[in-house]
Structure 1
């Protein structure tokens, strides 16, 4: 009877070992991510017939980015869940063996009708009755423990199969996003419908670059340049959206304004970590004041969202558009550098939880007139969550 009671406690221990996780299960999350990738693939096929191919392909690229990000997270959760289950089962190997042994003993003591066989107890009829009551009480607990073990083993099999199936979804997503980026670049190059606020003057810009040695000097000089032939394009007032503008790329904040980097250098802008080849878009309707390489910042795009308000985006590998163009909110202005990781690298990062897929850095600086301001006065960074 002591062994039966101990086995019952083990069974209850198994039943209580699984904590409910909020939200969708890891398996459901990975399946939902695969659906996002499939939806983006269908959108890519339909983008060719869209009236605004740039907008359609931009949404497609962002759809692939969201799907691939969700797939990484779903696989990471699935791998973590599988590891927890395996550790739990490993830790309880001895208890499991004892539980199975007791269940076998109970099975041998069951009568043809499924109930326990009433054997005579040495203490007589009263002892026999008590023994039968104890056996009847612990049997459901023993069965619950065995069911929990079976469920854990089945979940491990499901998670393992899901991770194997995810390889195909990842391959589709990586292939699709590369195609979408190529088509988007071509669609932007072919675009002729954007209003032109002023004609680009490359001589003025070249002289300004040659005469300045800092981003601050260049941006301040840009404010002083009076462009000729300006049209009456009116941009929306942004006062109501101050502090709520979306970041120009899916990213995490590495350093905030004024925070020192490893070399002790402090900059007045935000440093963001993005994934390789991440799409960078204009956070609002704006005029492109400058596009191209600048000093040691890599490729830079400077957007004028309203007179005197400049958004400086630096560190991209490729940039789109031409100076003087007025672009709608969400228009692609560049791509980050780097290459999408191979599937093996993604799965490796998922399994070890390293999260080193954000390898590129985008720098954002906001200037009002000739003065830098904290970008977080304009951009939403979800600072409480970062």
Structure 2
């Protein structure tokens, strides 16, 4: 997975996205699940990180060389231990998720501070003009002051008028001065809070950089221990790509992939019927099963995982299942607006049926989660898993791009944002994923 963390210009507060200006996109579908328009995929498939890729990542981040060396040593010590590598990948993905949430919160708070600063500066600009007028009046009085001790009868009226004017102006000027002083204090407080938030933002970006490097290095280490390019696996991947080229809809693609998986005896094939006598599991049993990082098949039957699935990415849900997709169809899944280059993880345990570009969906991943269930993720920019690979829930599978891939709908903000489309299917029929996702307290 080619990670591009990059250097963030956290000091440029004015460049932050203001809350509410969030565009979104969804794959257009007809009633069969086929995209309404076929366009070339707009993302290139990314191979596993190479030593050169890892060097490029190291050069682009701000971690010290000693920290990078310590991270490499930590991962090298796990060589060949798939269980520890799996656990480390999932833990790193969880730290990325938490850092992404914190970054979003900080940016929202900074946006609020920007708005507050603009309001205070607006008041100060208004006060500046008003106080200038008052001072100008005082200056005019000063240029022609009334006699201090003896008032000339001929100037009595002017002196009285000046005294009345001064009596009226001085309290007003004092009140405006007090208001300006208060606004200046507020402005100072805003700048202090902004500096604190900037420090928090930098700290979280440092976490993101380190964990992204850790994930890329772990993926490279795992793939060094597996001959993924054996003739058999290469042929399986080529056949999956050929099926995708022939399929005119997601339904047709999943049906072909599932049939082939069943024919070649793939473990947990999606064609296996749902067990009507599915055993009941306690929350503790499910939690214990998912904690086993040595597993090579789903921790629990998919039907028993309802309420435990991991949301694949942090983001804002902009389209629900069954809603109008904006292209004259009905959404068969949900759509999340994410951060640029947001991490995408496996929503459930499963085998990768397909990964790669498909029609106007960008990079997609289809997981066979067993017992007739499949999970589809679409709109990724890069994918880091391989066809036939078993992935555990919460394991990194790829990243989003910096924009929406495929056809898009935007709000009046006018610029497309990365959008992840998520679809769950049972016996190749989409179903409402509401209630299947874990609460934040469960996902740990």
Specify the TM-score bucket, using the shorter chain as the normaliser: 0.5 to 0.7
When residues 304 and 147 of structure 1 are mapped into structure 2, their CA distance, relative to the original with a 3 A threshold, is: farther
User: 1:30-49 maps to which residues of 2 (within 5 A)?
Assistant: 47-48=71-72, 49=74
Which runs of no fewer than 5 residues in structure 1 stay unpaired?
Answer: 1-39, 98-142, 340-353
Count of aligned pairs between the two proteins:
289
Inter-partner Cα distance in structure 2 for 1:206 and 1:239: 29
When residues 95 and 209 of structure 1 are mapped into structure 2, their CA distance, relative to the original with a 3 A threshold, is: closer
When residues 247 and 294 of structure 1 are mapped into structure 2, their CA distance, relative to the original with a 3 A threshold, is: same
Residue 267 (structure 2) pairs with residue 230 (structure 1): yes
User: 1:301-380 maps to which residues of 2 (within 5 A)?
Assistant: 301-338=365-402, 359-379=417-437
Inter-partner Cα distance in structure 2 for 1:377 and 1:167: 36
Following superposition, the deviation at residue 152 of structure 1 comes to: 4.1
Post-superposition CA distance 1:158-206 (Å, at most 9, x none): 2124435755665665566356434422321321689x9xx74224324
When residues 183 and 367 of structure 1 are mapped into structure 2, their CA distance, relative to the original with a 3 A threshold, is: same
Inter-partner Cα distance in structure 2 for 1:68 and 1:221: 41
User: 1:253-264 maps to which residues of 2 (within 5 A)?
Assistant: 253-264=317-328
Post-superposition CA distance 1:39-64 (Å, at most 9, x none): x989x867542654423432343343
RCO (CA 8 Å, sep 6+): is it higher in 1 or 2?
2
Higher helix share: 1
Q: TM-score, normalised by structure 2?
A: 0.53
Aligned pair partner of 2:107 in 56, 64, 72: 72
When residues 203 and 80 of structure 1 are mapped into structure 2, their CA distance, relative to the original with a 3 A threshold, is: closer
Q: Any idea what SS the aligned residue of 2:420 has?
A: strand
The alignment's C-alpha RMSD in Å is 4.4
Residue 188 (structure 2) pairs with residue 157 (structure 1): yes
Following superposition, the deviation at residue 70 of structure 1 comes to: 2.3
Following superposition, the deviation at residue 85 of structure 1 comes to: 3.9
Inter-partner Cα distance in structure 1 for 2:362 and 2:175: 62
Residue 96 (structure 2) pairs with residue 61 (structure 1): yes
Residue aligning to 2:212: 181
Inter-partner Cα distance in structure 2 for 1:374 and 1:41: 43
Q: Any idea what SS the aligned residue of 2:434 has?
A: helix
When residues 337 and 69 of structure 1 are mapped into structure 2, their CA distance, relative to the original with a 3 A threshold, is: same
Residue aligning to 1:251: 315
Residue aligning to 2:118: 83
Inter-partner Cα distance in structure 2 for 1:315 and 1:90: 46
Given that 1:269 and 1:366 are in contact with CA atoms closer than 8 Å, whether structure 2 keeps it comes out as: yes
Inter-partner Cα distance in structure 2 for 1:181 and 1:259: 35
User: 1:230-309 maps to which residues of 2 (within 5 A)?
Assistant: 230=267, 233-243=297-307, 245-309=309-373
Given that 1:289 and 1:303 are in contact with CA atoms closer than 8 Å, whether structure 2 keeps it comes out as: yes
Which runs of no fewer than 5 residues in structure 2 stay unpaired?
Answer: 1-61, 76-83, 133-173, 269-295, 404-411
Inter-partner Cα distance in structure 2 for 1:233 and 1:56: 19
Given that 1:310 and 1:368 are in contact with CA atoms closer than 8 Å, whether structure 2 keeps it comes out as: yes
Inter-partner Cα distance in structure 2 for 1:380 and 1:172: 28
When residues 229 and 328 of structure 1 are mapped into structure 2, their CA distance, relative to the original with a 3 A threshold, is: closer
Given that 1:244 and 1:380 are in contact with CA atoms closer than 8 Å, whether structure 2 keeps it comes out as: yes
Stretch deviating more after TM superposition (321-330 or 144-153) = 144-153
Following superposition, the deviation at residue 151 of structure 1 comes to: 4.7
Residue aligning to 2:18: none
Given that 1:255 and 1:271 are in contact with CA atoms closer than 8 Å, whether structure 2 keeps it comes out as: yes
